[in-house]
Structure 1
Amino acid sequence: MSSPPTASTASAAQAAANDVAGSPSHTQWTDIVQQLGAEIAGPLSTAMERIHDLISTGQIDRQSLRSLKESVVQAREAGMMGQQLARLASGRLRLSRERMHLTQVLRGVLAQRSRETQSRGIQVRQILKPVEVMTDGSLLFSLLNALMDWALSSTHSAVDLRLDLTPWPAKARLTCRFAHRSLDLMDDPRAQELPRALNSLSWRLVEQTALTMGVLPLREDEAGITVLTLEFPNTVSEEPGVAGLTVGSATPPLPPIERERDSDYQPSSNSKPLAGSHVLIVSQRRDLRTQIQAAVQHMGLIVDLVGSMSEALRFCEEGLPHGIIFESALRGADFERLHEETMREVPDFCFVEVLDEPHLTQLSTATSDGLARISRLHVSDALPSVLLFELSKSL
């Protein structure tokens, strides 16, 4: 299979496919901004039509209500991806380089997404060789989640993931393969046209996150099948005779993007390592929900709010967030069920309990049940630090 050509045209569909240069061009970012506007405006226009129908008739049927919700969700997801793309475009990311067990991180992401894949009826087949790499942990987590978002929204079949090493020089290679056309449409002349989902903002996020990390994204779309290969340049190996970084060797210089441009630069939401992570706030009191939301609003998180544990259970049925912040008064049978089911699927899942009474702030590593705890008195000043630790545990 040959490598695809580098994207060089102004067309969004063509430019989306592959640009493996070290950094994206101004033209690419212009295309991305235009695409972001379209993917937000389109669903919101559909939502406005539904709202006008509701205003004029005073009624809305179940199907129209579902369509309205889907349109709002699509626009919201596009906005969230725009937030993450803005973080990458800022040029002020300070990337770390640490030893990461790529296989374990990938398995953790797949466990986190297992409810979603099951609810969609999509099978994720895995052949994963144990591999470690030197890379930025938070961006690695973001890349793997973006990859799953894109693959799950594009596939008409199962998703095949394979993680192995290239021949000499040995580099970690993650391959994602799926059918972007239904098998019964392969003979249709329109099957030669690529579906819009393949070159959506989800793909842009995968591509730009990979390029920012120095990971080479190579994508091929042929005969209804899409194959994306992510090649990690710095692979850790302790095996004799295997090329790549060896433990204890000098770390190679960071690429130019891995620097802070201005010495007096103050971190913003674009440089926050948790930007794009999804948190669910569970509280029956609006003032507490507002307080928690205000405390984390500068972190670039995606935040959802529910008023009860039963709502939280329903919310998590189709897919888990990355963390749950809940008020202590809601502990009960529903919480125990949610906690038990979630920890069984994702042992390092982030739960933060907020107590009304004064209480010493505790991380999950300091409690017998693995829950982080914080007093409401300390939410404003301490919650961001607690979340930074708790949401980073699985990296």
Structure 2
Amino acid sequence: MSDTPQEPGHDARETPEHWRALVAQVGREVAEPLSAALERVVQLATTGRIDQASLRELRGEIESARRIGIVGQQLARFGARRLRQSDEKLDLAATLQNVLTQRSRELGSRGIEVKHSSRPIEVLADPALLFSLLNSLVDWAVELGGKRVTLRVDRDPVTRHGRIACHVHEADARRPAVPEAAGMQRPVSLNRHLLLELAGSLGLAVASEHEAGRTALLLGFPKTADLDAPPDAAPPERDPGDISSLNSKPLAGSHVLVLSARRALRLEVRESIARMGLVLDFVGSVDEAISFCNETMPHALVYEGVLHGAKLEQFARELRAELPAIGLVEIVEQADTWSPPLTAAEPPALERAKVGRESLYHQLPPALVFELSRQL
């Protein structure tokens, strides 16, 4: 893939025309599933009945519209101002493995087989930007509709830069090849736009190709740790006028499941983390949470402490057994501050942060940042 065409540069996408076209595309892509969902709702209002298949399709259409809205929100962050980054030394292969583990149930439910081979390679990158990039890479691979995805982390043999190669193998390999020049004329999906914006912000080299039955994307990391600046190089200074680290790091799109039986508390949770751009789902009981997680795993679980009992404890243990880095936040009634998990005092499966309801608005966002950062 070293001779494949390069994607348009980041600067080429910094034009008013580009952003106006993106806004129009967000509107079109949100309207399409919502129009289909509205037809089903009208039919339900007319007949008073809906079968299970139509109910599943209705939920899927609403979820699709919501996801497009979240992607649009993430893209808007790039259009508003450049993000200041705080680079850290990260294991690229381990971070990718965390993302794949997080999304294994979703990929399995879609019948997508993922093969992953890698070697430990450290790169310098903002952790949250890298996490968002890898999730966008998975989203892009999923939307192509292939049933087999191959991911590889290795070094470029010439530059020695770390790189990720993603190959999506389509279900129908008999489809004729499309030349790259013609392929670039096709509408670029919002997931692809977001992936390119994230790659541009991280300073990655991006190349792609398409042939019969296979689409490939290569992401090169020039800031590979052992090739970069001296270890005592000063980190970039933050501008107080820029978005704070809480909001600048695009945690938007991270999936949080909220377990609460009280509507008032649900509204308080939604309000307290509205600016973070997280994908929120709400369930009212432990049984509903178990059913939900059987289909897809969230990045974090927030639950009200009054529901804590043997069943919830066992559920938490099972979540941690499958996904050790999943975030757990308990909302308690009395405390007015949040405390990070005390690993020395609690078994690993029960490690969790605690947030007092009285200080929810101020303390839940940093608690979630703390918990979500554990996965990087």
Deviations 1:232-289 (A, max 9, x none): 111013xxxxxx22762647x97xxx975xx645649862542222111101111111
Change in CA separation of 1:114 and 1:20 when aligned onto 2, cut-off 3 Å: same
1:343 to partner: Cα distance: 0.8
Equivalent position amino acid for 2:117 in 1: I
**Paired position in structure 1 for 2:330:** 353
User: Under a length normalisation based on structure 2, what TM-score does the superposition of the two structures give?
Assistant: 0.89
Report which stretch shifted further, 52-61 or 107-116.
52-61
**Paired position in structure 1 for 2:366:** 385
Change in CA separation of 1:159 and 1:188 when aligned onto 2, cut-off 3 Å: closer
1:51 and 2:41 matched: yes
Change in CA separation of 1:62 and 1:220 when aligned onto 2, cut-off 3 Å: same
Q: For residues 82 and 278 of structure 1, what CA distance do their matches in structure 2 show?
A: 16
Q: Which runs of 5+ in 1 are unaligned?
A: 7-17, 238-243
**Paired position in structure 2 for 1:240:** none
SS, match of residue 273 in structure 2: helix
**Paired position in structure 1 for 2:356:** 375
Q: Kindly, what percent of the aligned residue pairs are identical?
A: 39
1:248 and 2:238 matched: no
Q: For residues 14 and 336 of structure 2, what CA distance do their matches in structure 1 show?
A: 50
Q: For residues 304 and 344 of structure 1, what CA distance do their matches in structure 2 show?
A: 22
- Measured on the aligned residues, the alpha-carbon RMSD in Å equals 2.8
SS, match of residue 146 in structure 2: coil
1:76 and 2:66 matched: yes
Equivalent position amino acid for 2:54 in 1: S
Q: Which runs of 5+ in 2 are unaligned?
A: none
Equivalent position amino acid for 1:186 in 2: R
Q: For residues 26 and 245 of structure 2, what CA distance do their matches in structure 1 show?
A: 21
**Paired position in structure 2 for 1:213:** 202
Equivalent position amino acid for 2:296 in 1: G
**Paired position in structure 1 for 2:277:** 300
**Paired position in structure 2 for 1:10:** none
Equivalent position amino acid for 2:199 in 1: A
Kindly indicate whether the alpha-carbon contact (under 8 Å) linking 1:352 and 1:372 is maintained by their aligned counterparts in 2. Answer: yes
**Paired position in structure 1 for 2:75:** 85
Q: For residues 197 and 161 of structure 1, what CA distance do their matches in structure 2 show?
A: 25
Which of residues 51, 76, 86 is equivalent to 1:61?
51
Equivalent position amino acid for 1:248 in 2: P
Report which stretch shifted further, 196-205 or 292-301.
196-205
Equivalent position amino acid for 2:260 in 1: S
Q: For residues 165 and 325 of structure 2, what CA distance do their matches in structure 1 show?
A: 26
User: Under a length normalisation based on structure 1, what TM-score does the superposition of the two structures give?
Assistant: 0.85
Change in CA separation of 1:187 and 1:386 when aligned onto 2, cut-off 3 Å: closer
1:202 and 2:179 matched: no
1:38 and 2:21 matched: no
SS, match of residue 388 in structure 1: helix
Deviations 1:185-210 (A, max 9, x none): 43699xx9979999321121111111
